[in-house]
Chain A
Amino acid sequence: ETAVFQTPNYHVTQVGNEVSFNCKQTLGHDTMYWYKQDSKKLLKIMFSYNNKQLIVNETVPRRFSPQSSDKAHLNLRIKSVEPEDSAVYLCASSPTYNQDTQYFGPGTRLLVL
């Protein structure tokens, strides 16, 4: 049963464009995450929000920015995409920030031409 929703499923764009991905969780969790999964399936955490407060911000390029309106939503905006941004972006949530059990959305696949 899906409880973490991501839109769009797939997005194709050109270098230099801006894109925005949406994530919503209906689990009532306090913490949400964005991960980047590359073509080799490697997972890297990008951001985490705990009850709307940014609590980790890994060394990702500044063109990436998370946006949260409430604890159930965490969007990801990429200004001026680059070819290396092509990846699957996975959103996840957990009850609090120190939980090993994270619930993942289906992902948004980005292709930058």
Chain B
Amino acid sequence: TQTVSQSDAHVTVFEGDSVELRCNYSYGGSIYLSWYIQHHGHGLQFLLKYYSGNPVVQGVNGFEAEFSKSDSSFHLRKASVHWSDSAVYFCAVRASSGSWQLIFGSGTQLTVMP
């Protein structure tokens, strides 16, 4: 069974800062990883995903994430945040075989101060 954890419930940065949101997973086999964003009062919106190939994947609005098999991680990064990036970010995992359900982490609330 795959699991995913987001150790930081809240992250606060200033506009223009860089940010890294952490995601760690556990699963013994091949896995799909993705990130979603949820603005207040809205549904989730897909940001990016990884399955194989280049461990650094690019997403929308300047977000990127890096897969590390050795660390079992898939951290999300942005070089310079904007106030509109304030939202809850969810990491999600899915096994490539067996259960195909998306398992979401508990989310990280990112607050960007002006």
Q: Quick check: A43 and B104 within 8 Å, CB to CB?
A: yes
* Tier of interface size on chain B: 20 to 34
A43-B90, A97-B100 known; A104+B43 contact, CB < 8 A: yes
Is B49 at the interface (CB under 8 A from chain A)?
Answer: yes
Q: Is the interface of A mostly helix, strand, loop or mixed?
A: loop
Q: Quick check: B107 and A107 within 8 Å, CB to CB?
A: no
Is A68 at the interface (CB under 8 A from chain B)?
Answer: no
Give CA–CA (A106, B90) in the complex, Å.
16
Q: A92-B43, A100-B32, A100-B92 are in contact. List 16 more A-B contacts (CB 8 A).
A: A4-B43, A40-B106, A41-B88, A42-B104, A43-B104, A43-B107, A48-B101, A56-B101, A92-B44, A100-B34, A101-B34, A101-B49, A102-B102, A103-B46, A104-B43, A104-B44
What are 20 A-B interface contacts by the 8 Å CB criterion? A4-B43, A40-B106, A41-B106, A42-B104, A42-B106, A42-B107, A43-B44, A43-B90, A43-B104, A45-B101, A90-B43, A90-B44, A92-B43, A98-B100, A100-B32, A100-B94, A100-B102, A102-B102, A104-B45, A106-B42
